[in-house]
Every structure is written in structure tokens, then in C-alpha cells.
Amino acid sequence: MADLHPDIAPLGFLLGTWRGSGTGVYPTIEDFAYDEEVTIGHMGKPFLRYEQRTKRAGTGDPLHTEVGYWRAAGDRAELVIAQPTGVTEALAGPIDGTSVALASVQIGLAPTAKEVVTTERRITVDGNTMHYTLLMGAVGQPHQLHLDATLTRIAE
């Protein structure tokens, strides 16, 4: 295992495999509950690799997955993501201890993707517990809460 690159050390608190559950709300859909697994790793380079999968609570049907990379520029974090919904996100925002608050800088849409206009991701890690919220302005709706989840680090 390579050492963590010093440029990405401010985001080292995100490393690990995380499992937990969350809830989703949005005006255009029914509320839902989900189980989630997140893996955030590194290969000694100045970025972290991120992948996420969610399943519907109860049925286990796959819901969402996304993948991307974390970068750090001093006390600012950057996150780029691709989603199988045909959406890309480039986000940025401040790192504050073991919290990070990201807002979308640019959202890319493949021609048949649903319209996503803004996203915001707030993540706080306390020991082996991660809590995040995701806000989104999409499909004609104002920017608002979409996801809220709490995960536990199950592996470093």
C-alpha cells in the first residue's frame, strides 16, 4: 500500500469503506429509504478514488451508483463525479477539519439526461461515523434537500 500523497492528506479522513443508510426526498418523487456502500481509496497519487452504490431498503433493488475523484488544493476540496444517469458534477468547497462542504461548479448533461442544475454536498466525519446531506436543484425544482445519510467506516 502506497503512502497517502501529502497533497491529498487534508482529505485523508474520508478514506475507507463505509456502510449505512439514508433517506431521499424530492417534490417529484415518493420519499424513499436506502442502504449505501461507499469506498474511498488512494494509490499514492494526489487524489482519492470514490465509488458509491445504493440499494432500496427492504427490497435491495439497486438505486444509484456514482464514481469519481477527490482532489485537494490547500484547504479547498474538489470532487468530480460521473453518474449513469448521464450527469457529471464538478464540485468545490472548503475543508474544515473533518468536514467538507461542496457546491457544484459545473454540471454536465448527456443529451438524454434529466436536467440537474445545482448540487451541494456536505460531509462530516466524526471518528468512524460519516454524515452527509445532498441538496439538489433539478427538473424545474428549486435547490433543496434530496438525501440525508449516516454511514459507518467498516474498513480502513
Residues that bind its own copies (CB under 8 A): 43, 45, 47, 49, 51, 62, 65, 67-69, 71, 73, 76, 78-84, 86-92, 105-113
What sign does the dihedral 89-94-100-103 (CA atoms) show?
Answer: negative
C-beta of 88 vs 136, nearer to its own copies: 88
Q: Which one, 45 or 128, has the nearer CB to its own copies?
A: 45
Nearer to its own copies, 108 or 150 (CB): 108
Shortest distance in whole angstroms from residue 63 CB to its own copies: 10
DSSP 84-129: TTTEEEEEEEEEETTEEEEEEEEEEE-TTSPPEEEEEEEEEEETTE
- Smallest gap from Cβ 127 to its own copies, in A, equals 28
18, 35 in Cβ contact below 8 A?
no
Report, in Å, the least distance between residue 78 CB and its own copies. 4
**Distance of alpha carbon 15 from alpha carbon 11, whole angstroms:** 8
Query: What 3-state class would DSSP assign to 40?
Result: strand
Q: What's the min distance (Å) between Cβ of 129 and its own copies?
A: 26
**Closest CB to its own copies among residues 57, 109:** 109
Question: Residue 103: what residue type?
Answer: A
